Amino acid sequence: MPVLALVSAVLVIAFEQLVQWRYGAAGLVGLLLLTIGIKVKSPSLSSAGAVLLALLVAGPAL
């Protein structure tokens, strides 16, 4: 079980670094809003994070 927790923590940190590298600080804020909203079961926080990430991803296409 500790190995699974370690592997998942490494994957989460790697994903956060990838988002910050690709989309900057706004991407990190969007990811944090989404994760915090899911953890505290707040639809408004998770929706705000999801919308921010969607705008960052779709930005060049708009």
**What is the C-alpha separation between 28 and 49, in angstroms, rounded?**
9
Beta-carbon contacts of 36 under 8 Å, excluding residues fewer than 6 positions away, are 42, 45, 49
Note down pLDDT in tens along the chain; length 62 residues: 688 888 888 888 888 888 778 878 888 898 889 889 999 999 999 999 999 989 988 877 76
**What is the C-alpha separation between 49 and 53, in angstroms, rounded?**
6
What pLDDT is stored for residue 48 in this prediction? 94
> Could you tell me the residue ranges of all domains in the chain?
2-57
What pLDDT is stored for residue 6 in this prediction? 87
Report the chain's terminal Cα–Cα distance, integer Å: 44
In residues, how long is the chain? 62
What pLDDT is stored for residue 50 in this prediction? 92
